[in-house]
Amino acid sequence: MNAKFFDLNKEKQDRMMNAALKVFALHGYRHASTDDIVREAGISKGLLFHYFGTKLGAYAFVYDYSVRFLALELRACVKPQEKDLFELVKQVEQAKMQAMKGYPYMQQFLDRSMTEDVGEALLAVEEKRNLLGEVYGKIYAQTDRTLLPPGADVGKLQKILCFTVKGLLAECFQEASFQPEMFYREAAEYLDLIKRMITVWQEDPAKP
């Protein structure tokens, strides 16, 4: 991490972080512009380069920061004794909501980074990408498969829930006033609905 950056006051740190997160989330590394970042943050380009050196330096920093920040929220929100897949997903989304209260584009940035195709950007975050994957792996390893329908493919079910939440997040961001708490409540409602549908099917597979 860049120790110099943390000597700034918190308001300026967050302005710079949120500007970089937004630009990289919306445009990806290839098309992100440092001009857009400094304009969004309301700072000079010289200040940006003083703390991060290059666009790649800024990208690597915000990725590292995002992974560390989200990992802390996940540890705080996900209960180690929880075994139900649907509750685990809800707790994961609660952690993301907490992160997005301070950094609205953090999750979009992390999602966008998963499809990044610029070699230097991929190399810059490779180690931290694995770290976040390990955190999620440990969380979902808690799942008790006996709580799911017999023969259920946990991996595919997890993907269905993930795609549902990601689609909802993308839809919410199209609105002018994104509110993390409202997004979380709606995501939880969708997760509960899917769980009820599976429960009904499990009780009576003959039902359409």
Structural domain boundaries of the chain?
Answer: 3-202
**Which pLDDT belongs to residue 207?**
54
pTM: 0.88
- pLDDT (0 to 100) of residue 128: 85
pLDDT value of position 41:
95
User: Rounded CA gap, 98 and 70, in Å?
Assistant: 9
Distance CA 20, CA 11 (A): 14
Distance CA 33, CA 28 (A): 10
Structure tokens at 81: 């004794």
Looking at domain 3-202, its CATH superfamily turns out to be: Tetracycline Repressor, domain 2 (1.10.357.10)
Per-residue model confidence as pLDDT tens for the chain (208 residues): 577 888 889 999 999 999 999 999 999 999 999 999 999 999 999 999 999 999 999 999 999 999 999 999 999 999 999 999 999 999 999 999 999 999 999 999 999 998 899 999 999 898 888 888 899 999 999 999 988 877 788 889 999 999 999 899 888 887 767 888 999 999 999 999 998 888 776 666 555 5
pLDDT score recorded for residue 1? 59
**So what's the pLDDT on residue 152?**
80
Tell me what pLDDT residue 204 has. 61
State how far the Cα of 135 lies from the Cα of 137, in Å rounded to an integer.
5
The predicted-structure confidence for 21-37, as pLDDT tens digits, reads as follows 999 999 999 999 999 99
Return the number of other C-beta atoms located less than 10 Å from residue 158's C-beta. Answer: 16
